[in-house]
Structure 1
């Protein structure tokens, strides 16, 4: 009789274990996290978020997801509370309650993604799909309930913290004053849009002590009368390069364009086309890295989180430099003094030229990816195929960042010096993120 009961108990144990394994195969799949990040990326694209604001959307959502992962596996992952000095301690799970931390991580990401994007609730349908997926896979009702409750507590904690980053205050800050003075930025065709986010340098940083911690040298002084001046040579270099681009260089310019809202002008007709911005592109590249290196769910969340923090701080630093320098774009100078009909290959974005945003944020992100995935990791980036642009292959993440920087010169929207210095400063920011943040415990 005892042997019979033992056999029954064993069968029940095996059955329960199999059911648990079944639902965890679904909720612990790193591909599901990649899909979830891409879902937010699509919402950012559809709602035309500017690049700097998009970086804010990604960083808080990823941090919320990561804090759940760290709470669920404290022997391998360390909370960002204390590492990011102004992040308060994250709520801890209640003892005795079984939680699927990976499922809760997904929900926390979506909760914050819902809150920081508009229209609010954009991810609600997807959240319902995630919940149904977990139920269909056999997640027990108590685990489901506990996971949802814990995800909500962490997400609300992160949202409360996010509201202190000065974002709301910058919504009502003074607008940029256009000063028509040689060498100073003014709006460019075809949109002639007002300056984008002139106060972004006032947003609270994550790892940097302040927006100005990583300093950049002053840009070359405006001088179009001396043909030997650094500024004149940089202007003529842009004009010369754009006029003699190879097909591959044109591909580079378009591949890294990442213009979230491009105004197309054909005769008297104008229409806009949308793409994800630079931060969204690097979120995609992070996903490629996690898949290529076969990272599990928790490691994937950590990689996305570090990259998003680097992107966020890099944008703040870059925008501080941009609006301090207020440098004129090549298009403005060339149209006024050299060729009124000259146009860049890609559309000039509505903010000052120095330093190159793509160069800074790409280099910063590449440093975190290099730390997480390794140096000289060759990969193919097909992120742009959904916009009709063929993929490109790279020998490393740093090589991709360097190409992103020079592509802005090929596109005709930056001087080379702004891209070279931007790449250098971005690497410094990425290095700082790598040094200060220790997400994985040895």
Structure 2
């Protein structure tokens, strides 16, 4: 009889563990996290978030998710509290309650994603689907409720912390003053939009001590009277490239365009088209890296988080440099002094030229991804396929970042020096992120 009871108990334990394994196969699948990040990426795209604001959306959502993972597995992952100096200790999970930390991290990501995007609640339907997925997979109700409760606790804590980053204050800050003086940035066609986020350099960074911690050299002095000046040569180099682009160079410029909102004007009609922002593009690349390396759920969350931190700080530093230099775009100089009908291959974005934002953030992200997944990781980037742009192949993340930088010269919106300096600037920022943040315990 006792033996029978033991067998019965063993069978019950076996089936219980099978049931547990079944639902964890769903909630612990790294593809589910990649899908969740892509969902936020789509919302950012649909609502025309500028690249700098998009980086803020990504970073807080990923940090919320990561802090849940670190709390659930402190033997293998370090909390960002303390590593990010101004991030206080995150609330710890109750010791007497079973929590599915992977599921809770997904919900925390979505909670913050819902809060930092508009219209608020854009991810609500997706969250409902996640919850149904967990229930359908057999997650016990107690585990479900505990996981939801803890995810809400962490997400609310991260949201409270996010409100101290000076973002709200910059919403009412003064606008950029347009001055028509030689060498200074002015709005460009076809939108002639006002300068985008001139105070973004005042946003609180994550790892950098300040926006100016990584200084950039001064741009070449404006000089269009001396044909031997560095500035004149830079201008003519852009014009020459754009006037003689080959098929691959055009593909490169289109692939890395990442214009969140492009305005096309035909006669008296106009229409807008949308793509991922540069940060959104690198979020996709982070996902590709996790697939190639067959990273598990927690490693995937950590990689997205570290990449989003690098992107966030890189944008802050870059925007500080941009509005310190206030450099004029090639389009303005060429149409005024050389050919009034000249246009860049891609649309000039509404902010100063020096330094190249795409060069800075791409190099920063590439350093982090190289640190997380390894150097010389060859991959195919199909991020732009949904916009009708063919994939491109790269031998490494760093090679992709270098191409992203050069693509802005082919596009006609940056001088080569702004891209070279930007790439070096981003590399230094990425290295700082790698040095200061130790997410995984080896």
Runs of 4+ in 1 over 3 A off after TM superposition: none
TM-score, with length taken from structure 2:
1.00
Partner of 1:216: 216
Match of 1:184 in 2: 184
CA RMSD of aligned residues (A): 0.3
1:4 is matched with 4
Q: Which moved more, 1:272-281 or 1:261-270?
A: 261-270
Equivalent position SS for 2:164: coil
Question: 2:127 maps to what in 1?
Answer: 127
Q: Which residue of 2 aligns with 1:427?
A: 427
Structure 2 residue matching 1:270: 3-state secondary structure: strand
Tell me the residue number matched to 2:414: 414
Aligned residue in 2 for 1:312: 312
- Cα displacement string for residues 319-354 of structure 1 (whole angstroms, at most 9, x for unaligned residues): 000000000000000000000000000000000000
Quote how far apart the aligned CAs of 1:267 are.
2.1
Query: Residue 151 of structure 2 aligns to a residue in which SS?
Result: helix
Hey, what does 1:400 align to over in structure 2?
400
Q: Which residue of 1 aligns with 2:303?
A: 303
Query: How far, CA to CA, are the matches of 2:86 and 2:321 in structure 1?
Result: 24
SS at 2:165's partner residue? coil
Residues 120-177 of structure 1, C-alpha deviations (whole Å, 9 max, x = no match): 0000000000000000000000000000000000000000000000000000000110
Deviations 1:199-245 (A, max 9, x none): 00000000000000000011000000000000000000000011111
What secondary structure does 1:400 align onto? Answer: helix
Residues 61-90 of structure 1, C-alpha deviations (whole Å, 9 max, x = no match): 000000000000000000000000000000
3-state SS, counterpart of residue 65 of structure 2: helix
Counterpart Cα distance in 1 of 2:49 and 2:3: 65
User: How much has 1:96 moved relative to structure 2?
Assistant: 1.1
Task: Give TM-score scaled by structure 1 length.
Answer: 1.00
SS of 1:97's equivalent in the other structure is coil
Give the unaligned 5+ runs of structure 2.
none
Take 2:267 and 2:18, find their aligned partners in 1: how far apart are those partners?
A: 64
Instruction: Tell me the secondary structure at the aligned position of residue 441 of structure 2.
Output: coil
Mapped to 2, the partners of 1:112 and 1:119 lie a distance apart of: 13
Residue by residue over 1:259-315, the C-alpha shift from the partner in whole angstroms, topping out at 9 and shown as x without a partner, is 000001122210000111000000000000000100000000000000000000000
Q: SS state of the match for residue 369, structure 1? A: helix
- The 10-residue stretch of structure 1 (264-273 or 402-411) with the greater mean CA deviation from structure 2: 264-273
Alignment of 1:144-163 (within 5 A): 144-163=144-163
Aligned to 1:338: 338
**In structure 2, distance between residues paired with 1:233 and 1:274:** 33
Aligned-partner SS, 2:281: helix
Does residue 292 of structure 1 match 2:292?
yes
Matched, 1:278 2:286: no
Query: Match of 2:143?
Result: 143
Partners of 2:18 and 2:419 lie apart in 1 by: 54
Find out whether 1:233 has 2:233 as its counterpart.
yes
Alignment partners' CA distance in 1, 2:276 and 2:148: 30
Which secondary structure state, in structure 2, belongs to the residue aligned with residue 349 of structure 1?
Answer: coil
